[in-house]
Amino acid sequence: MNPKRIYSALAVSFFALFSSGPVAAQAPVPGMQFRDCSNGCPEMVMLPQGSFLMGAPPGEEERESVPASFRGHSVPQHLVKIRYKLAIGKFAVTRDQYAQFVTETNRPDPDSCYTPDVATGMENDKHGANWHSPGFSQTGRDPVVCVSWDDAQAYVAWLSAKTGHVYRLPTEAEWEYAARAGTTTARYGSDRPAELCRYINHGDLNYSERHPRDPDANRECRDGYAFTSPVGSFPPNQFGLYDMLGNVWQWNEDCWNATYNGAPSDGSSWQSGDCGRRIVRGGAYSNVPGLVLSAVRSRHKSSGRDHSGGFRVARTF
């Protein structure tokens, strides 16, 4: 090769190196996974932009035997467009991640949490129960439970300050978009009761054996867990997100409204309605199949803590 050409190429390379300034971070693209810190930060997954029909289609609630008190809240079905770049937590926030937040902020332990009473089959607000003592054994990789919406807000504020990026809870529309992952069926996995245990941790035979007073469990399969399971124990959905259905209910940013009449269509959070109660989605380890659906929605007091309630985080770009 001509020495002059070699020199010219090197000169161009060095000029580019020293004149381009700091190396830019990789532009976020759908499917990209990242973590903004190594100590306590959740793994995130970039989602594709797009639109979807939010809510339950006609007949789904009856076909899936959604409990009566949950019916009629996921209508009318409506088009939502996610026009911005969005990342969602690959997993629900784990006990270890939440413990890091508690340690760094010296956050005091709450003094009670609604926990199951196996003897009576009822839930009670148990004094002394909290995120590290929810009434059953967990590993550090299990999703944190017994956290309120207010607790989750404190966590995302800490995470934002720690990373220099704005973290928050997903809006209800973002959550359902992430859960559906392009599917239009009731769940992103199988809808057959005998196959649900391959995809989700829910109220199955394992749960039923530990909770014999609950008559509505799915007795057609075993998922291997009577309580919460470590995150990533079941296959991800089509966006690469784990446990979007089952394991724990997940807090959303939105205020409670009984139907979707007047709901935002751009993916933003609905900040009117009953803001003392906030949306929870996804169902939990203790729920019948009719509650672990992409469309099913419920609510809880923002200060409420429950043995089956956790959260995951979101970040926009």
Domain ranges in the chain are: 28-316
Q: According to the model, what pLDDT value does residue 13 have?
A: 36
Q: According to the model, what pLDDT value does residue 10 have?
A: 36
Q: Please tell me the CATH code under which domain 28-316 is placed.
A: 3.90.1580.10
| 306 DSSP β-pair partners | 114
Please list, in sequence order, all residues whose beta carbon lies within 8 angstroms of the beta carbon of residue 187, skipping any fewer than 6 positions away: 196, 199, 200, 245, 292, 293, 294
Q: According to the model, what pLDDT value does residue 25 have?
A: 60
| Beta strand spans in 235-287 (E) | 249-256, 274-281
What whole-number distance in Å separates Cα of residue 317 and Cα of residue 308? 31
Q: Is the peptide bond before 289 cis (omega within 30 degrees of 0)?
A: no
Mean pLDDT, consecutive 10-residue stretches, the chain (317 aa), reads: 39 33 63 93 97 98 96 98 97 98 96 85 89 96 98 98 97 98 96 95 96 88 97 98 98 98 98 98 97 98 97 97
What whole-number distance in Å separates Cα of residue 239 and Cα of residue 181? 5
Prediction pTM value: 0.90
Q: According to the model, what pLDDT value does residue 116 have?
A: 83
User: Are β-strands 309-310 and 249-256 bridged in parallel, bridged antiparallel, or unpaired?
Assistant: parallel
Interior angle at CA 196, CA 175 and CA 42, nearest 5? 40
Q: Name the 3-class secondary structure at 82.
A: strand
The two structure tokens encoding residue 115: 């926990």
Q: Is 158 within 8 Å of 105 (Cβ atoms)?
A: yes
